[in-house]
Amino acid sequence: MSQPSKWWWGLLPLVLLWFVATGVVHKSIVADLRDRATAALGSSIADPAIAVAGRDVSISGMTFSTEDAAKTASTAASVWGVRKAVSDARTPAVAAPFDWSATRDGEAVSLTGNVPNPSIRDKIVAAAKAAFSGAAIKDDMTYASGAPAGYDIAALFGLEQLGHLTGGGVSLSDTALSLSGNAATQDLYDQVAAGLKALPQGFTLAKSDVVAPAKPAAVPVAVAVPVAAVPAGYAFAATKDAGTLTLTGNYPDEDTHSKIADAVKGLFAGSAIADKLTAATGAPAGFGDAAVAALGALSRLASGAVSLSNTDAKLSGEALYQQAVGSIQESFAAALPTGFTAQPVEISVRAAEPAVDAAGCQTTLNSLLSTATINFETGKAQISSASKGLLDLIVATVGRCPENKTIEVSGNTDSTGDEAANVALSEQRAKSVVAYLQDAGVSPGRLAAFGYGSSRPVASNDTEEGRTKNRRIEFSVK
């Protein structure tokens, strides 16, 4: 016969044991679901917060693409044992402009601004550690959307250049790169200067404040640049070296000074200008025109100097390529006004720079045209003499490009006038540029000329500024 009073007390421990076991197992199941859901999401979400209620999973955190954000719920739901998954994962806010910078101060490097995802963040930090061995790297970067294509390549490029300098910093604002700092040696300065001529594709140089090392006082200037000494008399001199144009000597009046300043702006766009001219009387007739002609010849040299002493003019320096030597010699003498005499020209040829791939070629051509424009006589296809320095830089760049690539030269106009005439004029101007490159030694088979008239504007034709931007020559590496 059963005796409930005896076995009832034995049931209580069993019930207690069931509650304990259920709680432990439940916690184990929850932890297992959370761990497997986290593993399934992998790196598609940063610092995920996963909550489990029964067999339902809710997810929050930060993802770095709309695709990753959309698939977080479906990824978690595919985990065995999960009944339903809900995701609140979101991408970072868009940064406009997308800014980033690295600042070097002594033995510390600070990384600030925007970074698009953890992978690129890790790349940048690793590159900073490699470029600044032993320095303390402070990572204050924040996640944001809206990075331009190639952002990581440009940031790593900037860190590499900054690693060659003392102090300073590098920054990106969308696709514009700026660099500052001091070069400890001339070799490092030259290395950085060469690097800035071949920026990553799609990026432009907004500002460069890289300071070259001071030359020892005992070393004559002629050792670094073939500068001609200015004899006594009414004098003017200009020296071009490492992206800086230095003017010394005299000008007779403010009108002449303004004429020289305007010529400098057109001939040396993108260069730093050190104007040390002083007013003085006693200039020979035509002195201002002679100074402008001298500057035009100097603009075609990679580095060098030109001087006027009374009516004697002298030019020396390095040309960008061999065929330019004779052309510069002839045009220098021909451009001088009556009464001025060109002394024997001393021009050598600068050593060729290393070859670049198609992308580097396109980037360099774009960079050249971002600071200067190939100009023509109004309404004509005749190239302005002030643009020959820019064209010589383009010739030297094309010489570094792959020989199996075609350089397409395209002419563009504003919308003023008849469109058929605009197309014809734009094609004639493109052909004039092609002819210049061919005369400079570029193989005709590598060049093609096209005229697009006003069909490809880059600015509004309703303003003079916009029309000026639309009148342009472009180069495409095909």
Q: Are residues 409 and 449 in the same domain?
A: yes
In the structure encoding, which two tokens stand for residue 397, read together? 């760049």
Residue 120 located in a structural domain: yes
Give the DSSP letter string of 122-151: HHHHHHHHHHTTTPEEEE--EE-B-PPTTH
- CA–CA separation, 41 and 68 (whole Å): 9
Amino acid identity of residue 37, one-letter, is A
Q: Are residues 412 and 342 in the same domain?
A: no
Query: What pLDDT shows up at residue 297?
Result: 94
Query: What pLDDT shows up at residue 396?
Result: 94
Query: What pLDDT shows up at residue 31?
Result: 62
> Could you tell me if 128 and 137 are in contact, meaning their C-beta atoms sit under 8 angstroms apart?
yes
Q: Are residues 60 and 159 in the same domain?
A: no
In the structure encoding, which two tokens stand for residue 313, read together? 């003019």
| Sheet with strand 472-477: strands edge to edge | 447-451, 407-412, 472-477
Query: What pLDDT shows up at residue 467?
Result: 93
Which residue in 290, 259, 267 sits closest to 386, CA to CA? Answer: 267
Where is 60: in which H helix or E strand?
Answer: strand 56-63
> Could you tell me if 312 and 242 are in contact, meaning their C-beta atoms sit under 8 angstroms apart?
no
Where is 231: in which H helix or E strand?
Answer: none
Which residue in 242, 335, 340, 255 sits closest to 295, CA to CA? Answer: 335
Residue in the block written with tokens 């010849």: 297
Query: What pLDDT shows up at residue 433?
Result: 96
Nearest-10 Cα torsion for 238, 239, 244, 245:
10
Where is 413: in which H helix or E strand?
Answer: none
pLDDT tens digit at each of 478 positions of the chain: 455 555 555 555 555 554 444 444 445 555 655 566 556 555 566 667 677 776 677 777 677 766 666 666 677 667 666 677 777 667 788 888 899 999 988 778 899 999 988 878 888 998 888 888 878 999 999 888 889 988 899 899 988 888 888 888 999 999 989 998 888 888 888 888 888 888 888 888 888 888 887 655 443 333 343 433 434 468 999 999 888 999 999 999 999 999 999 999 999 988 899 999 999 988 999 999 999 999 999 999 999 999 999 999 999 999 999 999 989 998 999 999 999 999 988 899 988 889 999 999 999 999 999 888 999 998 899 999 899 999 999 999 999 999 999 999 999 999 999 999 999 999 999 999 999 999 999 999 999 999 999 999 999 999 999 999 999 999 999 9
For 187-255, strand residue ranges (E) read 204-211, 235-241, 244-251
Q: Are residues 78 and 167 in the same domain?
A: no
Q: What is the CATH number of the domain that holds 244?
A: 3.40.1520.20
- CA–CA separation, 67 and 48 (whole Å): 16
Residue 4 located in a structural domain: no
Q: Are residues 63 and 124 in the same domain?
A: no
In sequence order, the β-bridge partners of residue 241 are 244
Residue 8 located in a structural domain: no
CA 215 to chain centre: 28
Where is 48: in which H helix or E strand?
Answer: strand 45-53
For 217-338, strand residue ranges (E) read 235-241, 244-251, 272-279, 301-309, 312-319
- CA–CA separation, 130 and 91 (whole Å): 30
Residue in the block written with tokens 């700026």: 178
Q: What is the CATH number of the domain that holds 461?
A: 3.30.1330.60
Domain final residue, candidates 349, 367, 388: 349
* Number of structural domains the chain divides into: 4
Q: Are residues 368 and 442 in the same domain?
A: yes
Residue in the block written with tokens 């719920």: 73
Give the DSSP letter string of 162-200: HTTSEEEEEEEETTEEEEEEE-SSHHHHHHHHHHHTSPP
Q: Are residues 76 and 110 in the same domain?
A: no
Residue 343 located in a structural domain: yes
Query: What pLDDT shows up at residue 213?
Result: 78
User: Model's pTM, two decimal places?
Assistant: 0.53
Domain final residue, candidates 185, 211, 237: 211
Kindly give, in sequence order, each residue whose CB lies less than 8 Å from that of residue 416, ignoring residues fewer than 6 positions away.
422, 461, 467
> Could you tell me if 431 and 381 are in contact, meaning their C-beta atoms sit under 8 angstroms apart?
yes
Q: Are residues 204 and 225 in the same domain?
A: no
Q: Are residues 338 and 236 in the same domain?
A: yes
Cα distance between the two ends of the chain:
101
Q: Are residues 69 and 126 in the same domain?
A: no
> Could you tell me if 123 and 93 are in contact, meaning their C-beta atoms sit under 8 angstroms apart?
no
Q: Are residues 247 and 276 in the same domain?
A: yes
Q: Is 321 helix (H, G, I), strand (E, B) or coil?
A: coil
Query: What pLDDT shows up at residue 131?
Result: 82
Q: In degrees, to the nearest 5, what angle opens at C-alpha 400 toward C-alphas 356 and 429?
A: 120
Residue 256 located in a structural domain: yes
Residue 318 located in a structural domain: yes
Which residue in 131, 173, 180 sits closest to 154, CA to CA? Answer: 173
Query: What pLDDT shows up at residue 251?
Result: 93
Query: What pLDDT shows up at residue 7?
Result: 53
Radius of gyration of the chain (CA): 33
Which residue in 178, 200, 196, 199 sits closest to 188, CA to CA? Answer: 196
> Could you tell me if 136 and 105 are in contact, meaning their C-beta atoms sit under 8 angstroms apart?
no
Query: What pLDDT shows up at residue 380?
Result: 92
In the structure encoding, which two tokens stand for residue 93, read together? 């806010």
Q: Are residues 108 and 194 in the same domain?
A: yes
Residue 1 located in a structural domain: no
Residue 37 located in a structural domain: yes
Query: What pLDDT shows up at residue 294?
Result: 94
Domain final residue, candidates 87, 113, 142: 87
Q: At what angle do helices 358-371 and 388-398 cross, to 10 degrees?
A: 170
**Domain assignment of residue 287, given as a range:** 221-349
